[in-house]
Amino acid sequence: MKRLPLILLLVGLGTAAHAQQPSGTVIAVPPLTSPDSGSKGNQMLAVGLDISQLIASDLRQTAELVPLPTKREDYYSYPEVTAPSLYKWRTAHAKTLLMGFVQSRSDGRLTVGCYVYDVDKGRELARKGVVIGPNDWRRAAHKCSGLAYSAVTGTPGIFDTRIAYVAESGVGDGRTKRIAVMDSDGYSHRYVTAGDTTVLTPRLAPKGSQLAFVSYAGGQPNVRLLDLDSGKDRSLIQSNTISFAPRFSPDGSRIAFSMMNGPNSDIYVVGAAGGAAQRLTTSPGVDTDPSFSPDGSKIVFESDRGGSQQLYTMNADGTGQRRLTFGNGWYGTPEWSPDGQWIAFTRRGQDGRRIGIVKADGTGERLLTTGPGDEGPSWAPSSHEILFQRVGANGRSGLYRITLDGGEPRAMTIPSDGSDPDWSGVMD
């Protein structure tokens, strides 16, 4: 967070006419009010303040929205929720306003309503009501954040999503790796493997209830499938050969992965519920890191069949394989964006490992990060932002986020070193 004001300052210097205007849309998030009275009303106002502060915190993480600080004295009455006084927010240079209420229900649960207004036009942009358990206010806040984000940007928000990654601790041969899962704002952080076995590349199912990953539990790397609710896991396929690089299809029904065939690494696909694996590639060398297009009809992957590691696409049944990238350097770890337009990748070259994007037709390639220790891009559900792993000059590995507009990557706050991040779709 310390870095953000600096960026804003630099942007401001570059455009002197807008010296006070940050690059994103300014949004006011005064504390949610309540129709309830008495001590219940005070209770609901306290919850409302928590929710509003979390919404502001959510939106502060984005590049598109810049929330004003949520202040207790900006309290408003219940009728004002649907008839806001906008003059105050115009003078505060807010372009967007998020208001709402928290109401207690007779069954002990809460109704949370959120309303988004265009301050200049005096027009309502969106509204949403959710009924939540008494302690689920964070969830309601994330839903309201998503409402404001999509009202302003026209794309889905990323707030009610999960991130899985490999948490690393210790040094050298004593280094342990555990898979951790958390909400995308860092809360509800928990470890889902014990740390007694090396684990790699967690990949969340689209609905977030299952996780595919690579485990060395059997002495060699193998893809396993973990049910996050029950905690039970199983081998993805019955085989004593090395398997790795799993990824779910967008509907969650299939998993593409790599498996060794003698000295060849080939791409296979198997039903998430079981069944026989189908081999999709046969070329000598390394074919790996498959990733489905959002409609499930195509797969992008990396292959060194042409002499150097490059990106290729094929139909999901293995037909129609063709090369996508022809640039200098080595291209790997492709991931198709949720909106279908882009493919993110890691490029290795003289300048180290850098994250880049290329259009799904192979044109418009550009690099987003400077490296030299970046890899493993994973798209936010918004398709506007990428999460990736960066190894710093001190050899320590962290998770970073960068938007397609460029700028400096922002470090995610996690309890230890982290690698192999994966961002889920929106929960429901």
Partner 1 sequence: MRRTLLILGIALAANTAQAQLPFLTKRPAQPVIQGIDALRADFAAQSGGTTVYFGAESVILGAPAKNVLSAQAAWLRRHPEVVVRVEGYGDGGDTRDHALAIGARRAEETRDYLVLLGVPSAQLSTTSWGKERPGLGRAVTILIR
Of 35 and 373, which has the nearer Cβ to partner 1? 373
CB of 265 to partner 1, least distance (A): 4
Q: Tell me the DSSP string of 346-402.
A: EEEETTEEEEEEEETTS---EE----SBEEEEEE-TTSSEEEEEEE-TTS-EEEEEE
Other Cβ atoms less than 10 A from the Cβ of 276: the count is 9
Rank residues 206 and 221 by Cβ distance to partner 1 and give the closer one: 221
Q: Length of the chain in residues, anyone?
A: 428
Nearer CB in complex with partner 1: 183/374: 374
**Closest CB to partner 1 among residues 129, 327:** 327
Q: Are 182 and 163 spatial neighbours (Cβ–Cβ below 8 Å)? A: yes
Please state the closest distance from residue 177 (CB atom) to partner 1, in A.
Answer: 8
Binding site for partner 1 (CB under 8 A): 173, 198, 200-201, 214, 216, 219-221, 242, 244-245, 258, 260, 262-265, 286, 288-289, 302, 309, 332-333, 346, 348, 352-353, 375-376, 419-420
For residue 380, give the 3-state DSSP assignment.
coil
Looking only at the bridges linking them, the beta strands covering 110-118 and 287-292 are unpaired
Nearer to partner 1, 160 or 420 (CB): 420
Secondary structure (DSSP) of 111-136: EEEEEEEETTTTEEEEEEEEEE-TT-
Between 64 and 375, CB nearer to partner 1: 375
Q: Cβ contacts of residue 76 below 8 Å, gap of 6+?
A: 30, 33, 84, 85, 99
Minimum distance, C-beta of residue 352 to partner 1, in the bound complex (Å): 7
CA–CA separation, 319 vs 81, rounded Å? 56
Closest approach of Cβ 128 to partner 1, in Å? 39
| Smallest distance from partner 1 to CB 219, Å | 6
The minimum distance between CB 357 and partner 1, in angstroms, equals 16
Give the integer Cα–Cα distance in Å for 368 and 344.
Answer: 10
